[in-house]
Amino acid sequence: MNREQKAAVIDEIDVKIQESGAIFAVDFRGITVPQAAELRDKLRAVDASFKVVKNSLTERAADQVGAEHLKPLLAGPTALTFVRGDAATAAKAVADFARITDKLAFKGGVMDGAPLSSDQVTSISKLPPRDVLYGQLVGLVASPLTGLVRTLNALIGGLAIQLGAILEKKESGEIPAGQPPAAAVAEPVEEAPVDEVAPAEAAPDEQPQAPADATPPPPDTAPVAEAPPAETSSIDKENN
């Protein structure tokens, strides 16, 4: 492979890295050409591609786009799965193929710029497809809202029934009609002129005191009661 061919391969890998939301690295030892073609068909159906790469050229492409997390995976025979669609579906396609052929062991990967271990890629392969996850998420979010809507509808319906029953009883005379509400605004009270307002009476504790040098009034003398005349004894009557 001459320099121009190497440059073309590097540019191709460069573009695939930038377009991919996830990249899975596998050990492709032992896989046959027909098996590789079959896997490519399966991955193409889920918007992914399978490519056997030369490690040195892939490292140069990774350097160009800053995919540093991809470089540690480029040891030994390596094939890369470039995923533009659903990462879980693509990982599942590779995992199913590896289980059938007993080949293509996961070495790790990169998703959204973050490194993935081989166990993490295996876990991703066991996830349901993206549309199923979205549906489950929407169901989890919507279920409390659905319950709230049902509760509110029940409350509103019950209130409407009660109001309808009250209206029927009023129309039939079972409940007397209410009195018209009193006037909300009271008439303003006229204020007396300032100079006509009588001064407030002093509190008992605030009564005016007599000056210190004033002579106190003489005490009231109660009248002395006159003694009744003594009765004349019978002897005196006889002497008289």
Give exposure, 8-35, as e/b (b: 16+ Cβ within 10 Å). Answer: ebbeebbebbeebbbbbbbbbeebeeeb
Q: What is the DSSP code string of 111-158?
A: ETTEEE-HHHHHHHHTSPPHHHHHHHHHHHHHHHHHHHHHHHHHHHHH
Bridging pattern class, strands 114-116 and 105-111:
antiparallel
The SS3 assignment for 26 reads: strand
Averaged pLDDT, 12-37: 92
Residue 154 has pLDDT above 90, yes or no: no
Q: How far apart are CA 181 and CA 173, in angstroms?
A: 20
Please name every residue paired with 81 in a beta bridge, in sequence order, or none if there are none.
24, 50
Give residue 170's pLDDT: 66
Q: What percent of the chain has pLDDT over 90?
A: 39
Q: How far apart are CA 60 and CA 56, in angstroms?
A: 6
Give residue 145's pLDDT: 56
Q: The tokens of 213 are what?
A: 């040098």
| Residues 6+ away with beta carbon under 8 Å from 85 | 46, 47, 48
Q: Within 13 Å, how many C-alpha atoms sit on residue 78's CB side? A: 22
Give residue 71's pLDDT: 92
Q: What is the mean pLDDT of the chain?
A: 74
Residue 91 has pLDDT above 90, yes or no: yes
CB 18 within 8 A of CB 67: no
Give residue 4's pLDDT: 87
This prediction has a pTM of 0.55
Averaged pLDDT, 6-27: 92
Q: How confident is the model at residue 3 (pLDDT cuts 50, 70, 90)?
A: confident
For 61, the enclosing helix (H) or strand (E) is helix 55-65
Pick the range with the lowest mean pLDDT from 38-42, 86-90, 118-122, 180-184. Answer: 180-184
Q: The tokens of 144 are what?
A: 């409390």
Residue 113 has pLDDT above 50, yes or no: yes
Give residue 183's pLDDT: 47
> Angle 63-67-71 (CA atoms, 0-180°, nearest 5)?
75
Residue 196 has pLDDT above 60, yes or no: no
Pick the range with the lowest mean pLDDT from 53-62, 91-100, 204-213. Answer: 204-213
Q: Which residue has the higher pLDDT, 204 or 83?
A: 83
| Residues 6+ away with beta carbon under 8 Å from 234 | none
Give residue 235's pLDDT: 41
The pLDDT tens digits for 123-144 are 999 887 666 655 655 555 555 5
Give residue 131's pLDDT: 63
Torsion of CA 41, 91, 67, 119, to 10 degrees: -150
Residue 117 has pLDDT above 80, yes or no: yes
Residue 109 has pLDDT above 90, yes or no: yes
